[in-house]
Amino acid sequence: MKLKKPQKIDKVGEVVVKLNEAKSAALIQYQGLDAAGITNLRDKVKSTGGLIEVTKNSLIFRALLKLGISLPEELVGPTAIVYSNTDEIAPLKEVDAVNKSSEKTTFKYGIYNGKLLSLDELKKFISLPSKSALIAQFIGGLKNPLQRMVYAMRYNQTQLVMTLKAIADKK
């Protein structure tokens, strides 16, 4: 479908707004995925608080320029933008999981805090634990010393009771 100039301007504006609202984003190539695979990927990304949108390369290029981001090379092939709206990493991990299982999607670039991430930087970013995993680790770290203190206090009380019982049994 060929877009007319006002439609292109509107679409670029939409992409700029979505990129500004997203906590992170990635440009992916999805060539090779059939309709069921794309639907499955969209559902997985949506369940983690993300959104996948197929956009023309020229419109992506213009939107990134409006954000002050320049691509080192021209985008080639079908490109989709993965917007991470609630968790910075979880939707990108879903795309990575699909890539590992089928090798039909590939990351091109990532965007985080208004900066372009190269493929290597994006892979490091994706390897970080998700927000929920970090929160669980933090809470576990806070809880562990308290559990040890309670156990230590119970241990001393138990030893005192056992010693008194042993003395009473002797007499």
Taking only the tens place, the pLDDT of each residue in 83-113 is 998 888 888 888 888 888 777 778 889 999 8
Give pLDDT, residue 2.
63
Length of the chain: 171
> Which residue bears the tokens 């890539």?
99
pLDDT exceeds 60 at position 1: no
> pTM value?
0.73
Per-residue pLDDT tens for 3-48?
Answer: 678 888 888 899 999 999 999 999 998 887 888 888 888 899 899 8
Give pLDDT, residue 18.
92
Residue 103 has a CB neighbour count (10 Å cut-off) of 9
Give pLDDT, residue 14.
92
Give pLDDT, residue 141.
75
Query: Can you say whether the dihedral through the CA atoms of 132, 135, 141, 146 is positive or negative?
Result: negative
Mean pLDDT throughout 129-158?
78
pLDDT exceeds 70 at position 133: yes
